[in-house]
Chain A
């Protein structure tokens, strides 16, 4: 079974693919904005696993790992700003249900 073999690229691709699909499922189906944010984190992490896995198996230097580090930094900035926006929305609308937030001004 190549997907259970840690010396095989397919094992990491399997994990990251399932993570990516689960993350997109959360982004599309969740109604709470914080849960949508968690889905985004899952997608970013699956991309990171791919970066590092391809860096390990197909490259000779560590550029893939550097990209993964930049993705982590951007994810941190994104999470901070997204949660600030969610808090502002909560103060204005008193809900963070993404289906109900549909007006630009209150």
Chain B
């Protein structure tokens, strides 16, 4: 039963790392510390995807979130703060009401999730998901797949247009 114990131990560790670093993300006063804690949250979620037998999604999570979005956010942090003048700090406002919202959401969602009789189908043995995901993309999800590529192009051009500096008097 050593394998079973290890299986649970790693899952507990992954969940603990994910939630603890998410807590740092939302509570740290240092913006760079928040951004780096987000790295561990996203990595922990990739591990949870592995536990859910979603191997392709775990790789995508690491590539897109950790490799792309996190770097983008770090650029945002660096470009919008005067690092030399140590203004890398962020305040929180309305903490009392926000904690109330946090607790309320937790209560409502927990009572919904744990009091619902989900129609479970058991956990089928899963092989690699890459092939079936590719088949679904090219058959049932072909239109969303193409629409998303147009959306990415639009976001690319839009982001460049919004962020570039207007040269005055030209």
User: Which A residues form the contact surface with B (CB < 8 A)?
Assistant: 4-7, 9-15, 17-26, 28-35, 37-39, 41-42, 45, 48-49, 52-63, 65-66, 68-70, 72-81, 83-88, 90-91, 96, 99
- Which chain A residue shows the least CB distance to B141? A66
Dominant secondary structure at the B interface:
helix
Give B contacts to A, CB under 8 Å: 7-8, 11-12, 15, 18-19, 22-23, 25-26, 31, 34-35, 38, 41-42, 45, 48-49, 51-54, 56-57, 60-61, 64-65, 68-69, 72-73, 75-77, 79-80, 90-95, 97-99, 101-103, 105-106, 109-110, 113-114, 118-124, 126, 129, 132-133, 136-137, 140-141, 144, 148, 151-152, 155-156, 158-160, 162-163, 165
**Interface residues of A, dominant DSSP:** helix
A9 touches B162 (CB 8 A): no
Contact of A35 among B34, B126, B165 (CB under 8 A): B34
CB distance from B41 to the nearest CB of A (A): 7
Inter-chain CA distance A94–B11, complex, in Å, is: 44
CB distance from A28 to the nearest CB of B (A): 5
Q: Is the beta-carbon distance between B26 and A15 smaller than 8 angstroms?
A: no
**Known contacts A31-B90, A70-B148, A72-B60; A65 and B129 CB within 8 A of each other:** yes
